Structure 1
């Protein structure tokens, strides 16, 4: 359940307050007073058997006595009464309730059910939606609704704030009101027993009153729903998050480096980034970000120019920019020449551009004009310290028009108080975000940068992939199943490398032996030098117990090392089992960089993939980044770029650059393992050597556990559904019907370019000459959990894949209604391909339990309307707007 009936929560026409009272300082009295004082225009119905009237309104003894069905009920009664009240409200026809009461999860009845469980069971038959319990309530200022016990009301605005913390709700409300910040919705989730983050975000994504979404998150329960809702919302509205709790609690029981490194906060960070949202660290930073993003023009780069009338503020801004990972713009030769002509001889001659403290308004205007003309500058930060020479408001007035019409973003910092107050107002009115200090201005700019990076990642179109690696899934599963049958959760190093090899990941030749003598003979067969490692199911990190010896160059050396290794293990860990030894060829990679690639399983978001600097000190170096699977080439490259070791992968001194494509390929192969192998709990490839010749895994560790064969629900993002691919015969040739992929971007552009302009108009209701990158991403990067696009594709004589047609369906979050569209390449129309695609789409919707498919076409689109009739759609023309609606009931 997601957005069903939430309109009654946020836009009720009537409201009942159950537990309303006149007892001072009680929740019931506060809520009733807030509802009345908020100016809600609909009927307000107090419910309390001890009163006939409250606050001048008729009071009713119980739900059954209410003269009308309230759209929304606010419950302020003791915990034990809540389930019965929910049942009575549902039977009467109420479809939304706010339960402010706390303590519903403590006591259990004889069946083991809590009061919360009974409340949800009572609501389920009526699809009655519940906000809470244990919440402060909800405010919708545009309709004067304050259904909360907050101490102040909210001002109307365009920002929605959603919080799990009641204290944050009241604190932020007070903080924002003092600063004149308004809200479209102000929501306290409380325990989120029914309505959770995913539901609220889904609703707000299409709420016309909400232009930005702010979240205070302590924890997420339904990760898949949260990710789907957040990705959909972030495509259209700035979505910002404060995540509380930065302790990696889940690392305590980890048996691998990756498990120890992948703390919960880092996983949340990865999820927020993947969803295209922006994470901030404080309430003030949250609202600063709203101020910045509200005035944000498209940011086409990250190169910042700093213009100042004093050296100190410019240096402070530069220090903060570089420390934050920002980029200072390099001034072009033309810009330098123009500035030399316009500024005094003692100007800074670089970026920051110090125009000297005695600058008149004309010097400010000319400098800004020169900087805006430099295409190597993506944004300008204007810093000004007041002087007695020229009033600040005169400078602001001289620049106002230029700021308003600038081609790029201009941020400003007017240092001071009353002396610069009017200048600040002038710049703000011209559309420039204004800040109190240079550091805050840089923080605002870097928020823009990080937000745009996340948005770019959300909209990125990967290049078409090369020939896929042949993955032997059956062999990998056989190794894992064998270990589980033996009751083992840890694969041996040799078994782990077998799994990696099955997925095409290069590994060093490794053999297992049982005795020191056998180790010596095997080493002779492999060829010296070799590495010898202990093989024990009870030892996770072999080097910690002296269980790794490298560069052994003779059989005697191998035998002697094995004997000493066995003795050390018996002395240090007498209870540890010794299964034998592994012998492997020494990997001679003098230019190799040691990296780690791993998998851990997060309690909330499921499997996550880690990349970072490898070796025995991975925990100490703390150089890693985390991403959610599935990964493609773009996501793999972005994951690598977030680490310090990425800078070591390039060429330096006498070392050639490492093969980054091979590293990305390995990350994608590991991602495939995560998707294919639900038993995989933890994985370490450490170290993975990477150099100019590719990659090779020197050591590997895998932990497994029993799992359902097809448990894709463990993944926070649904992967590409390869099981939906179908080969068909069409017009005498083989054609593949399959879901669209992000890598289809290039082929989709070619498909669009092959459409007649009239076909484009009939499909999109407008004339469109070319697809923009964001449109390509939107068409090819779909959320398989909520939408589907089947393409018909075939190989050309040149070996490329070409798209022949596409049928697309987007379901509402409740999977009740799904809207379809179908397009066939113009030169292939009239041969039945559109009907083939639509039939496949209808079958898919039936399998998913979608109740109906709907669509809309222009009245003159005879082909689509004819096809819809043949497929059983009900056709309903609308002469007023020239369109025809189509509907197919699947139930």
Structure 2
């Protein structure tokens, strides 16, 4: 993969500029130009230069007619002028050797062709200057109190970096973060990404010691592969949590294969994010809930939670939420149970959730936590407090301070309004996340434990485990595909498809082509009865629908009759010219489970490997797992285990050998699609897994008509 990240990716000129110029500075109330000045004046300590040819000063600051009239060095320029003026302004800034620019102005590619032309002019004129925007809100660095945006308020200092593709949403989230007392290290409204993109920003934040987690609101992405490569480097060090808008599949194109039909653009995107170690959430609330927990507390891949509560109802709600979100109540060890029983009231719940009753004191909460942290069965502790008269919330919060830095996450749900406000502030100050409701808290914990497990999947597949394909076989596969292309053939027939699969050592039923009844009989005798006949055609793919499949043929008479019936069925639909004979193969007894393995080509991410429940009802079951190749046996195993059919396969007597062979098939399939990018889709369906064998019964291969590397075959 040839990445083209700009070498000038030191973004400090944006986040730590010593001097800033505003082009489009204004004295007009409620204008963007005036808001930018007010925000900078409020807390920025560096030099501010205002560019406005019609005024001598604004808000007590001197103005200059043009940027070239400022003789001092400028690190960052903020442009807030009409779109048509921006290309020439960018040229002037580049000439002055300004390092960074934020283009607030709107009216570019969102308006179509004229706007796209303006963007092209900006790219041509910018030289080495880096640009954020256009059509953006600006940036904020809360650590040095830089508000180079027209957002209203400065967020609280924190450890979360937030990148938003929507300026309006960014404004709303910034306001909400103040209310919820969630701090940010910085905020970037990225806009149309004419230059600086998600990849560069996550790379920058990955090295930023002041950022513990990166949050992203994404609408679209120009170079997804570049993004995934950069993200996979960063997620090994700190979390990236992402919410993506526009996840509907309404615009998906019709697919020609089962593999294509059971995958959607959003599913591929989700699979790619998982592969890179990115945590994808569905709501803004989830985005900040999980980020708050991950940034303040240690990761836990143990999904077993202990719950301490002074009320039964909230404990039940928390338990339900745990189960719904695939996490569990921790089973208390015998030692933990006996320790708790020494000091808790006689009427305590005697199980998890640990209900310490409505008159629980701050001492009782603290003693309970102290015992639980020693239990190795526990992966996290949730402390629920309802504002009952006998329990002093602020005292409890102060007692919990000493547990803020454990080796497992500790978090709270202090429920209520004014009566718990001061207590919650104490908790936040000490780095203990608080959730307004216990079900929100348990959902965040569940997401954390799953994310922590998924992190183990982030690695480059080992070449040591690579199943080597014989070079001679690889050459034959290349010749087969080259021959198909020479005939402008995009859909390989059944025989060619099976041959290609076989060349990559994927076990598939032996198949012969018979152009006449006599040939069909000859091959049937060679294979041994019972036999299956299928129509052999270059264009007819869904054979069963046209009456082109005959099963369990037990003798020579059956074979001849089946041959005639297939031809007759094709003649009825007036496609006899498409009839080129039949394929002959052994009738395999279906006494096991049917699965599908395949690949489809995504417009953004390239080949995608699919595994799941197979057979004729594959689209109905919709039981599948996706990943991006290359894969090794370890990744293949994770794929298989994430499907429902896995439980059925585990029930087979020879399940260990069957699973190993399945892993091998998926690995070889991933090499096949990477070795030959010309392949658009592959269906190997069904693959039969029984107590004594694993074998593919059918295959179909579709080539990519737009592929330009035919000569490399």
Q: TM exceeds 0.5?
A: yes
Q: Report the counterpart of residue 263 of structure 1 in structure 2.
A: 264
Measure, in 2, the Cα distance between the counterparts of 1:167 and 1:540. 49
Preserved contact between residue 514 and residue 582 of structure 2 (Cα < 8 Å): yes
Measure, in 2, the Cα distance between the counterparts of 1:582 and 1:637. 33
Q: For residues 153-198 of structure 1, give each alpha carbon's deviation from its aligned partner in whole angstroms, at most 9, with x where no partner exists.
A: 4444332111112222122122123333332221111111211111
Q: Report the counterpart of residue 619 of structure 2 in structure 1.
A: 619
Q: Report the counterpart of residue 89 of structure 1 in structure 2.
A: 93
Matched, 1:15 2:14: no
Preserved contact between residue 201 and residue 230 of structure 1 (Cα < 8 Å): yes
Measure, in 1, the Cα distance between the counterparts of 2:563 and 2:191. 59
Measure, in 1, the Cα distance between the counterparts of 2:411 and 2:693. 45
Measure, in 2, the Cα distance between the counterparts of 1:241 and 1:462. 28
Q: For residues 565-607 of structure 1, give each alpha carbon's deviation from its aligned partner in whole angstroms, at most 9, with x where no partner exists.
A: 34434445759833433222122352x3211111111111111
Preserved contact between residue 507 and residue 697 of structure 1 (Cα < 8 Å): yes
Preserved contact between residue 340 and residue 368 of structure 2 (Cα < 8 Å): yes
**Alpha-carbon deviation of 1:352?**
3.4
Measure, in 1, the Cα distance between the counterparts of 2:7 and 2:231. 14
Measure, in 2, the Cα distance between the counterparts of 1:573 and 1:322. 57
Q: Which moved more, 1:254-263 or 1:1-10?
A: 1-10
Preserved contact between residue 678 and residue 710 of structure 1 (Cα < 8 Å): no
**Alpha-carbon deviation of 1:449?**
0.7
Q: Report the counterpart of residue 243 of structure 2 in structure 1.
A: 242
Equivalent residues in 2 for 1:761-776, closer than 5 Å: none
Q: Secondary structure at the match of 1:434?
A: coil
Q: Report the counterpart of residue 52 of structure 2 in structure 1.
A: 48
Q: Report the counterpart of residue 474 of structure 1 in structure 2.
A: 475
Q: Secondary structure at the match of 2:143?
A: helix
Higher relative contact order by CA 8 Å / sep ≥ 6: 1 or 2? 2
Q: Report the counterpart of residue 638 of structure 1 in structure 2.
A: 638
Q: Secondary structure at the match of 1:45?
A: strand
Equivalent residues in 2 for 1:398-797, closer than 5 Å: 401=402, 403-404=403-404, 406-421=406-421, 423-425=423-425, 427-428=427-428, 431-458=431-458, 465=465, 468-470=468-470, 472-516=473-517, 518-572=519-573, 574=575, 577-588=578-589, 590=591, 592-651=592-651, 659-691=658-690, 693=692, 695-705=694-704, 707-709=707-709
Preserved contact between residue 678 and residue 708 of structure 1 (Cα < 8 Å): no
Q: Report the counterpart of residue 108 of structure 2 in structure 1.
A: 104
Measure, in 2, the Cα distance between the counterparts of 1:10 and 1:638. 41
Preserved contact between residue 678 and residue 710 of structure 2 (Cα < 8 Å): no
Preserved contact between residue 251 and residue 262 of structure 1 (Cα < 8 Å): no
> Does the C-alpha gap of structure 1 residues 443 and 136 become closer, same or farther in structure 2, counting only changes over 3 Å?
same
Aligned Cα root-mean-square deviation (Å): 3.1
Equivalent residues in 2 for 1:378-389, closer than 5 Å: 378-389=379-390
Preserved contact between residue 656 and residue 691 of structure 1 (Cα < 8 Å): no
Measure, in 2, the Cα distance between the counterparts of 1:23 and 1:429. 40
> Does the C-alpha gap of structure 1 residues 107 and 463 become closer, same or farther in structure 2, counting only changes over 3 Å?
closer
Measure, in 2, the Cα distance between the counterparts of 1:561 and 1:67. 91
TM-score, length basis structure 1: 0.73
Measure, in 2, the Cα distance between the counterparts of 1:75 and 1:399. 48
Q: For residues 189-212 of structure 1, give each alpha carbon's deviation from its aligned partner in whole angstroms, at most 9, with x where no partner exists.
A: 111121111111111211233222
Preserved contact between residue 71 and residue 95 of structure 1 (Cα < 8 Å): yes
Q: For residues 626-647 of structure 1, give each alpha carbon's deviation from its aligned partner in whole angstroms, at most 9, with x where no partner exists.
A: 1111112222222222222222
Preserved contact between residue 250 and residue 602 of structure 1 (Cα < 8 Å): no
Across the two proteins, how many residue pairs are aligned to each other? Answer: 704
Measure, in 1, the Cα distance between the counterparts of 2:711 and 2:6. 22
Q: Report the counterpart of residue 224 of structure 1 in structure 2.
A: 225
Preserved contact between residue 16 and residue 46 of structure 1 (Cα < 8 Å): yes
Q: Report the counterpart of residue 884 of structure 1 in structure 2.
A: none
**Alpha-carbon deviation of 1:679?**
0.6
Q: Secondary structure at the match of 2:608?
A: strand
> Does the C-alpha gap of structure 1 residues 100 and 364 become closer, same or farther in structure 2, counting only changes over 3 Å?
closer
Measure, in 1, the Cα distance between the counterparts of 2:108 and 2:626. 36
Q: Secondary structure at the match of 2:373?
A: helix
> Does the C-alpha gap of structure 1 residues 657 and 633 become closer, same or farther in structure 2, counting only changes over 3 Å?
closer
TM-score, length basis structure 2: 0.90
> Does the C-alpha gap of structure 1 residues 14 and 539 become closer, same or farther in structure 2, counting only changes over 3 Å?
farther
Q: Secondary structure at the match of 1:236?
A: coil
**Alpha-carbon deviation of 1:669?**
0.8
Measure, in 2, the Cα distance between the counterparts of 1:711 and 1:376. 59
**Alpha-carbon deviation of 1:28?**
3.1
> Does the C-alpha gap of structure 1 residues 237 and 260 become closer, same or farther in structure 2, counting only changes over 3 Å?
same
> Does the C-alpha gap of structure 1 residues 44 and 503 become closer, same or farther in structure 2, counting only changes over 3 Å?
same
* Long gaps (5+) in structure 1: 713-891
Measure, in 1, the Cα distance between the counterparts of 2:112 and 2:462. 52
Equivalent residues in 2 for 1:254-293, closer than 5 Å: 254-293=255-294
